[in-house]
Amino acid sequence: MAEKDALKVLESTLAGRGIDIKAVKEALKGQAIETPSWAYANSGTRFHTFGQAGAARNILEKLEDASCVHKLTGVCPTVAVHVLWDFVDKTVAEAKACAESLGVKIGAINPTLFEQSEYKFGSIGSPDARARQKALDHLLYSVDIMRECDSKFLSIWLADGTNYPGQDDLRQRKHRVAENLQKVHGALDDDMQMLVEYKFFEPAFYSTDIGDWGMAYLFCKKCGPKAKVLVDLGHHPLGTNIEQIVALLIDEDMLGGFHFNSKKYADDDLTVASVQPYEFFLIFNELVAAAGGGSAYDVPYMIDQSHNLKGKIEAMIQSVMNIQETYAKALCLDRKALAAAQQKMDIIAAESVMKDAFFTDVRPLLGAVREEMGLAPDPLAAYRESGYQGKIEKSRS
């Protein structure tokens, strides 16, 4: 009864803001969040890999875990893969068939350009022509995998850069990266997109070949219309106004997608919205505003995190729920009141409208949406009651 009462209060609140709760529900039901295969396997820090009981050992088990997340949340229909991590002992055809049998599909294809000895001084930005060719061949092979999986997104992150002044010619590195990205862009089918990710440091500590959104933007513009910028929330210096970057890229039609995580200091890959939930809300506000207020801007949304302390599947479900909650809050913002306050240059009123949406308790709404989708209202509780964790710990020991 308390939940029904809370939902009625929320309905009344939204009606006062001129928001149709049925439309909000439909937007939430249509949300799609991609989960990454690597989040379900054991992974480590720079110092050690802390294994977890039941962690996935190959792509088939990763897909099984991703399918579990989708069945409980209803909004995670695709799984991103990493080429060298996921197609070592299983073929692409096997993975695709397994995914489809489990009710999910292969999503973005992520080339692996940072773990082999040849890439000591970079991949497509390396001064070593053999390393550049190896990297280019791998990228083109990744495009072939896209066709085999019917994937539409190639997600590229480079670890390329330098650690010391004078180590390499900075302009020459730019030319090498641009030349090879252009070759990959030329290999894409017309309905494919190349998403170019940036990161301001690590593992390159002096110069990074694609260090910020502006550099990624320049490379994409040099490539052509099938290249757009990928924003990872952990890849920014402290204090960066990420929501402004998002707004600018949207306005230039150059936002290609997201990697969702959270950070305290650098690329920590923490649970989404665990550290700065208001910042995350402000980012989602721009995404919803760009779509007219009734949905989110149409780009792929993927979670990019890998947990060592939290249980892997539980952490993924928690992140999905946090994204759903933040999206719902952005849909509950009174945009007419916000526009009126902005027009009057009433800063306090404008901020109050933002805060009203952020502090709206949308959990009863999300519970109702899930029940309408035939799901448990609390996916995390449902997972703990399902016995799935015990099952995989036993079968994968």
- Locate the domains of the chain by residue range: 32-333
The candidate with the shortest Cα–Cα distance to 324, out of 296, 352, 359, is 296
Greater pLDDT, 254 or 5: 254
Q: Is the pLDDT of residue 1 over 60?
A: no
Neighbours of 23 (CB within 10 A): 14
Task: Check if the beta carbon of residue 302 is closer than 8 Å to that of residue 107.
Answer: yes
What gap in Å lies between CA 121 and CA 205, rounded to an integer? 13
CA distance 230 to 249: 10
Mean confidence (pLDDT) of the chain: 96
pLDDT at 108: 98
pLDDT at position 44: 73
pLDDT band at 49 (very low <50, low <70, confident <90, very high): confident
Q: Which uninterrupted H or E stretch holds 161?
A: strand 161-162
Q: What is the pLDDT at residue 260?
A: 97
Cβ atoms 31, 77 nearer than 8 A: no
320-348 residue pLDDT tens: 999 999 999 999 999 999 999 999 999 99
Long-range contacts of 248-251 (CB under 8 A, 24+ apart): 249/213, 249/217, 250/286, 250/287, 250/290, 250/297
Band (pLDDT 50/70/90 cuts) for residue 268 is confident
Q: How far apart are CA 14 and CA 370, in angstroms?
A: 19
Instruction: Lowest mean pLDDT of 41-45, 104-108, 170-174, name the range.
Output: 41-45
Distances from the Cα of 142 to the Cα of 33, 77, 138, 197, 261, angstroms: 22, 21, 6, 16, 24
Q: Where residue 90 falls among pLDDT bands split at 50, 70, 90? A: confident
- The residue ranking higher by pLDDT, 49 or 394, is 394
23 closest CA partner among 292, 306, 381: 292
In this predicted model, what pLDDT tens digit does every residue of 353-383 receive, in sequence order? Answer: 999 999 999 999 999 999 999 999 999 999 9
Is 377 strand, coil or helix?
Answer: coil
Q: Domain 32-333: state its class.
A: alpha beta
Predicted pLDDT of residue 7:
93
Q: 135-162, pLDDT tens digit by residue?
A: 999 999 999 999 999 999 999 999 999 9
Rg (CA), the chain: 22
Q: What percent of the chain has pLDDT over 70?
A: 99
Check whether 50 has a pLDDT greater than 90: no
